[in-house]
Amino acid sequence: MRIISGKNKGRKIIAPTQLPVRPTTDMAKESLFNIIRNYVDMDQISTLDLFAGTGNISYEFASRGCTSIVSVDLNFKCTTFIRQTAEKLNFTNLQVIQSDYKLFLNRTKHSWDLIFADPPYDMPNIAEIPDLIFGNNCVNNNGWLIIEHDKKQDFSKHFAFYEQRTYGRVNFSFFNKQTTVRKFN
């Protein structure tokens, strides 16, 4: 995996092979960030990366200058790798938390401008993620939730669903609780 843009553009990151992850492909990640950068000022947003895995998405946000990034993953090896990589890359704006996502979302008192969630595609109850996030007020006003998922998952009936984009086998569903937002182009 590589960092696509920002102060660490082009930097390759090699994750240990024993991590139980499925990193977002570079093609899908590049497409995702091309969409995001048209609607938010990266250097002015706070982000939450749920199911952070290798930290692939977190590093991209950090490289692009987000004010703060919180990376949450349950796996100790994943969180250790993210911490070590963040230190090597001097990402002082990245905080790593080892926690179950439900426990974290139910206990946090924070909210973010953008939340990215990349749960295992076969995770039971994946459809509950938007309800947990919006129900716990984890998204700031006019903030965004983006969930990466496979084609079998359909979020289109959720009250905050906005749009779905597909890049190969990767699907991104976008959510926003505001009804006056513009469509992604």
- In this predicted model, what pLDDT tens digit does every residue of 95-129 receive, in sequence order? 999 999 999 999 999 999 999 999 999 899 999 99
Residue of higher predicted confidence among 181 and 24: 24
Among residues 173, 101, 177, 172, the alpha carbon closest in space to that of 132 is found at 101
pLDDT of residue 133: 96
Confidence at 53, pLDDT banded by 50, 70, 90: very high
With 0-12 CB in 10 A as exposed, 13-18 as middle and 19+ as buried, what is 141?
Answer: exposed
- Tell me which CATH homologous superfamily contains domain 26-175: Vaccinia Virus protein VP39 (3.40.50.150)
Tokens representing 152?
């079998």
Tokens representing 171?
């699907």
pLDDT over 70 (residue 184): no
